[in-house]
Amino acid sequence: MTSLAETVLSLLGAEIKSARPLQGGDLSEVQLLQLSGGRQAVAKSGPLAEREAAMLQAVRAAGAPAPKVLGTADGLLLMEALEETSAAPAGWQALGTALRQLHSATGTQYGWDCTYAFAHVEIPNAPLQNWPGFWAARRLLADPAALPRDLRLRIERLCSRLPELLPAEPPCALLHGDLWTGNVLFSFDTAYLIDPACYYGHSEVDLAMLHLFGSPPAEFYDSYGRLEPGFEIRRLVYQLWPALVHLRLFGSSYRSMVETRLEALGV
């Protein structure tokens, strides 16, 4: 296998002077590279590097801030290095603006042109025209055999009600797909979207994920805008997907995250 130093030299024409790990979540290795000539780059390794690169480029093409892709090869994604700062009110306002811009880019079907994954949890994205059908088949029941039987039966009952709970054909907005605060890089007055898992779907999916571990401050909604009535119920439905992913990745400590949402939805 080609070494990191050889790949960086081939793609960027620079030598690695030093490297230090960056926080990359639980599923990938990320390093900040100091390069010859005083340059910097971020290197992220993983089997889906090329797919992530295409998603970052889609985010940038939509006019939303995201790191510039410098190159990909052999399961390696090279990106521009950005200076990270703390999340200030102006940063949250910038995130609202960035997300509104991202969601303004629309497709013709729900889904994406390739499957993605969080570690061993596959994310099927084969397009569908009906949104409740997509959320049931491609998300909540994408791999029913991987779920505990009692939860699977409850989710099946919920999926039979999705046409009543979700809009049939909301705009096919470009989604980040994994939007929690750890996947936002605040840099002064800009909020960059990182680590995307893009597909086209209902814009409220990103907002539901953003509320999974806390709530953004008022400045976020001042720039993003308000939601349509009934979003509280839809948020529970949309939060079930990342809750199920956490259950499958990290075990039974996340079961309560699934159950509390099912209980609130009456199943």
Catalytic residues: 178
State the Cα–Cα distance between residues 74 and 55, nearest whole angstrom: 17
Q: What single-letter amino acid sits at 162?
A: L
Angle at the Cα of 235 from the Cα atoms of 61 and 216, rounded to 5 degrees = 65
The sign of the torsion formed by the CA atoms of 12, 15, 21, 22 equals negative
Helix (H) or strand (E) run with residue 82 in it? none
Q: Where are the beta strands (DSSP E) in 135-260?
A: 173-175, 184-187, 190-193, 199-201
State the Cα–Cα distance between residues 239 and 73, nearest whole angstrom: 34
State the Cα–Cα distance between residues 81 and 29, nearest whole angstrom: 15
* Whole-angstrom Cα Rg for the chain: 19
Helix (H) or strand (E) run with residue 117 in it? strand 116-118
Q: What burial class does residue 28 get, using C-beta atoms within 10 Å of its C-beta: 0-12 exposed, 13-18 middle, 19+ buried?
A: middle
Given phi > 0 = left and psi -120 to 50 = alpha, else beta, which region is 228? beta
Structure tokens at 152: 């699977």
Specify the residue for token string 């510039």.
68
Structure tokens at 81: 């290095």
Q: Calculate the CA 82 to chain-centre distance.
A: 19
